[in-house]
Amino acid sequence: MEIREKGYRHWEGTLRASRHDWLPIARNGIRAVFKKKYAKLIFSLCASSFFVFLAAVYASTKPELKILGELVRLLKSDAELFKTFYANGFLTFMLIVLSVFSGADLISTDLKFKAFPLYFSRPLSRGDYLAGKFAVILFYLLAFTLVPGILLLLFKMLFTGSLAVSPVLLLAILAFPVIECLCLASLTLALSILSPNIKFIQIAIFLVYVFSNSLAQMLKAIFKSDYAFLASLQGNIEQLASYLFGVKPAYHFPGWLSLLLPLAITALSFWLLAWRIRKAEASS
């Protein structure tokens, strides 16, 4: 074995770019959200919609049961079942609450403590930073939309004893929550980067949700057209769900138009996040 003298010597290794630099940010963020006060309460409320629909699916296979009769009558088909599950107002509101709870402070805290120099002094790109932050919100949003949707489908197959499922329906079950959660996650992070004041960000997210619905109602009253609901976050969610699941649309305008708002919010949010991080990094 070669014996070297004490002292400094050049490092002879090679640097390799990692594709998983965002994972530590995501992992620590997910743990931090889970440890927050009231986390279990909010998670329970988000999951309650799944258990109600699960009970309705079970009751629909047992005609002698009288529980949830109104909901059972409403869910006439698999498409109607999943459209109602994903787009019901209670679940949408709880997803907004979950977005505030899990994502409002993700970037605003870094702004508050001027942490950007610490992040980017390491071999970490802006894309890795944003991917880690997005993963935190998407983890929780998809945990209460996509995962319950798949479980609901599996339990329905178990209760009915039939494995038959339309490929179009299966694609809608997988695609809709991803589109919805990407929109909510990007909107949350875009607002989170505007200010180091976490309370302001939390209020702003709620105001966007409430104001979009109020604006749609005002426009509907003025112009007497359902196109006004293109300005509503909840309205677009309902119309897009109707379009993807192939059921009667909630409003009288083409369902594919409701895809424009989520895409516009996501694209604008990505641009705003990249611009704001670049600006904060340059000023630090």
Do residues 133 and 270 touch, judged by C-beta distance below 8 A?
A: no
Bigger pLDDT: 2 or 118? 118
How high is the pLDDT of residue 29? 95
The answer on pLDDT for 12 being more than 70 is: no
Most confident of 143-147, 228-232, 260-264: 143-147
pTM of the predicted protein model = 0.89
For the stretch 173-197, pLDDT in tens is: 999 999 999 999 999 999 998 889 9
How high is the pLDDT of residue 209? 92
Give me the percent of the chain exceeding a pLDDT of 70. 86
User: Residue 214: how many CB atoms within 10 A of its CB?
Assistant: 13
The answer on pLDDT for 227 being more than 80 is: yes
The answer on pLDDT for 151 being more than 70 is: yes
Rounded alpha-carbon distances, angstroms, from residue 274 to 101, 125, 281: 23, 11, 10
Q: Using CA atoms, how far apart are residues 164 and 40, in angstroms rounded to an integer?
A: 35
How high is the pLDDT of residue 170? 94
The sign of the dihedral angle between the CA atoms of 13, 15, 19, 21 is positive
Terminal C-alpha separation, the chain: 48
